[in-house]
Chain A
């Protein structure tokens, strides 16, 4: 069962989850905020694709970019309107706010569009496969891997070669000190949220391509993946997020192969049990980092 097709699928999933987790961690690393509304950014990407693909003649490449931009702007906007005013108050307030924003966006979609699932017309490419070494590899998987490699490379470039990127990494180390060097807090945070939105947008393209439909609650499963991958990888290291994403993909793919058919539906439950075991021995996650948040016991 473990053949080239399986491995490519797993890599594709892993790279998707890596980007997913990255988008979450980039905000967490600086603000210590777990953004519950992150999943809804994927929903926004999905509905953008639904609206544009269904009602305009735009080519898919353009639609994809607009979807990413939509997610980015939503993320940016929610920070500006909901998170910034609460930022000074307390972390718990921000967390609850993010949950409220999540509910707001979900029910907003429900209200404005429909509670029912909406089919998204996908480009032909996503349904075709190519033959490599005697196995049929869906184009979708190849695209996912290529896109994520490119995205991670670009992100890495941004973080290492630009002053803004250096400032972002510094902010994750020590936000206050970064401000004391004259770096504007709002710029840093807005940038982080924007990057988070871009990640979610890109993920949404490939995520929707798997099911070809979008509903208001489509953000919940990827949110969970992002959460768990992040916790596995160690909460505030970007490398940890990538590792966590791949580890999640590997475990869940293996579970898919090795679990008896009757238990297959409980994959997530088993995943969770494994995560708990990991956390039992390594509460700070797999990747050691200086800033994993205070361990309690």
Chain B
């Protein structure tokens, strides 16, 4: 490929990355710690949304287990990154063989991702052959099971109690760098042969099968890579928040990540980015309102859940009026507008009359 063509290929990710970097720079310049926190978390969320986009956007199947793998990555990475002393301090019941394990931050992160990927690989292969509805159901079941295991695996995870004492490693720029890498990775996957084949088999599985595409294998690969990304994202998040419980990796987070992807548009990488930005902004506003009302003490039991209720309503509205999300299947590009992908059309009108 000659240089201009190569640049064209990277057109979209470069734009997205540029946007990310601008946000990071501005955040750094403003120097407000609250803003820095919000943006750091936003970039971590972005990584998770991108991971989900990689699977959902290309295979067309909902994956509810994604946040579960985030949790696995989180717990695994801290088991390696914390010192023995710190580990025993938070969980005196820890399995002895886990105590001496110690690696620096990046390898810990990597192992977290690999663990998530490994578990995804093992549990998901039988599920890839299921019909779409059964596949969705079983990913949901997988989420719940992971949650149950994390909740009861006291000797590893400290159970429902808070696991604290994690070192803080995820700075603004750490999350920025990882977000940038993920954008490229997900985009490259989309444009790679695997991505192409996966989308082909999603559009017409019989035609794809007839030219030798193994849909089950493609789906499985995407699922595993997606889980890896989720695991790394989990590790990043763990080393930002420095203390957490299994409840951080369950339904609410699943909903938020899903909302970010769907509102932004699940069929393009740009959709994932746009969705994350928009929803994060909206959530902060809503949360401010929630806090304000709580201060006013209007509701005796506290004013909770408002953010999620509004977000859910917005999500439903998007699905009714603009089902392919804000980006509608398109990628951001400086070039002449790419034609709308067939996915977005199909997504809109696949119901019969």
**Touching chains A and B, CB distance < 8 Å:** yes
Query: Taking beta carbons and an 8 Å cutoff, which residues of A are in contact with B?
Result: 28, 32, 34, 36, 82, 85-93, 95-97, 99-101, 103-104, 106-111, 113-116, 176, 216-217, 220, 224, 227-228, 230-231, 235, 265-266, 268-269, 272, 275-277, 279-280, 283-285, 292-297
What residues of chain B lie closer than 8 Å to A176, measured between beta carbons? 352
Could you tell me the distance between the alpha carbons of A280 and B138 in the complex, rounded to whole angstroms?
12
What residues of chain A lie closer than 8 Å to B145, measured between beta carbons? 268-269, 272
Could you tell me the distance between the alpha carbons of A73 and B148 in the complex, rounded to whole angstroms?
32
What residues of chain A lie closer than 8 Å to B141, measured between beta carbons? 224, 227-228, 272, 275
Q: A82-B316, A90-B346, A90-B348 are in contact. Are A296 and B130 (CB under 8 A)?
A: yes
The listed residue (A34, A100, A106) touching B319 by CB distance below 8 A is A100
B135 nearest CB across to chain A (Å):
8
11 CB < 8 A contacts A-B: A85-B320, A100-B259, A100-B313, A108-B305, A108-B309, A115-B305, A227-B138, A231-B130, A279-B127, A295-B130, A296-B129
Tell me whether B73 is interfacial, beta carbon within 8 Å.
no
Q: Is the interface of B mostly helix, strand, loop or mixed?
A: helix
Q: A108-B305, A266-B149 are in contact. Are A86 and B134 (CB under 8 A)?
A: no
Tell me whether B329 is interfacial, beta carbon within 8 Å.
no
Query: Taking beta carbons and an 8 Å cutoff, which residues of B are in contact with A?
Result: 60, 62, 123, 126-134, 136-138, 140-142, 144-145, 148-149, 152, 205, 215-216, 251-252, 255, 258-259, 262, 301-306, 308-309, 311-313, 315-316, 319-320, 323, 346-352
Could you tell me the distance between the alpha carbons of A266 and B149 in the complex, rounded to whole angstroms?
7
The listed residue (A97, A100, A224, A231) touching B144 by CB distance below 8 A is A224
Q: A100-B316, A292-B131 are in contact. Are A276 and B126 (CB under 8 A)?
A: yes
Residue of B nearest to A175 (CB): B352
A90 nearest CB across to chain B (Å):
4
What residues of chain A lie closer than 8 Å to B303, measured between beta carbons? 111
What residues of chain A lie closer than 8 Å to B309, measured between beta carbons? 104, 107-108, 111
The answer to whether B140 and A97 touch across the interface, beta carbons within 8 angstroms, is no
What residues of chain A lie closer than 8 Å to B251, measured between beta carbons? 103, 106, 217, 220
The answer to whether B130 and A283 touch across the interface, beta carbons within 8 angstroms, is yes
The answer to whether A107 and B123 touch across the interface, beta carbons within 8 angstroms, is no
The answer to whether A87 and B215 touch across the interface, beta carbons within 8 angstroms, is no
A275 nearest CB across to chain B (Å):
7
The listed residue (B131, B132, B144, B306) touching A111 by CB distance below 8 A is B306
Q: Is the interface of A mostly helix, strand, loop or mixed?
A: helix
The listed residue (B149, B216, B352) touching A296 by CB distance below 8 A is B216
What residues of chain A lie closer than 8 Å to B152, measured between beta carbons? 265-266
Q: A92-B62, A107-B305, A266-B152 are in contact. Are A100 and B315 (CB under 8 A)?
A: yes
B348 nearest CB across to chain A (Å):
6
The answer to whether B320 and A86 touch across the interface, beta carbons within 8 angstroms, is yes
Question: Most A CB atoms within 10 A — which of B132, B134, B309?
Answer: B134
A40 nearest CB across to chain B (Å):
11
What residues of chain B lie closer than 8 Å to A103, measured between beta carbons? 251-252, 255, 308, 311-312
What residues of chain A lie closer than 8 Å to B319, measured between beta carbons? 86, 89, 93, 96-97, 100
What residues of chain B lie closer than 8 Å to A101, measured between beta carbons? 312, 316
A278 nearest CB across to chain B (Å):
9
The listed residue (B60, B129, B255, B352) touching A297 by CB distance below 8 A is B129
Could you tell me the distance between the alpha carbons of A116 and B308 in the complex, rounded to whole angstroms?
17
The answer to whether A89 and B62 touch across the interface, beta carbons within 8 angstroms, is no
Question: Most B CB atoms within 10 A — which of A93, A108, A294, A295?
Answer: A93
The answer to whether B348 and A96 touch across the interface, beta carbons within 8 angstroms, is no
The answer to whether B140 and A227 touch across the interface, beta carbons within 8 angstroms, is yes
Q: A90-B323, A230-B137, A231-B137 are in contact. Are A295 and B305 (CB under 8 A)?
A: no
Could you tell me the distance between the alpha carbons of A224 and B141 in the complex, rounded to whole angstroms?
6
Could you tell me the distance between the alpha carbons of A231 and B323 in the complex, rounded to whole angstroms?
28
The answer to whether A32 and B133 touch across the interface, beta carbons within 8 angstroms, is yes
Closest 8 CB pairs of A and B: A107-B305, A293-B131, A110-B305, A297-B129, A104-B312, A297-B216, A265-B152, A107-B308
Could you tell me the distance between the alpha carbons of A108 and B131 in the complex, rounded to whole angstroms?
32
What residues of chain B lie closer than 8 Å to A295, measured between beta carbons? 129-131
A145 nearest CB across to chain B (Å):
27
Extra contacts, 19 of them, besides A87-B351, A104-B309, A266-B149 (Cβ < 8 A), are A28-B133, A89-B320, A90-B348, A91-B133, A97-B315, A101-B312, A103-B251, A106-B305, A109-B305, A111-B304, A111-B305, A217-B251, A228-B137, A265-B148, A268-B145, A277-B126, A293-B133, A297-B129, A297-B216
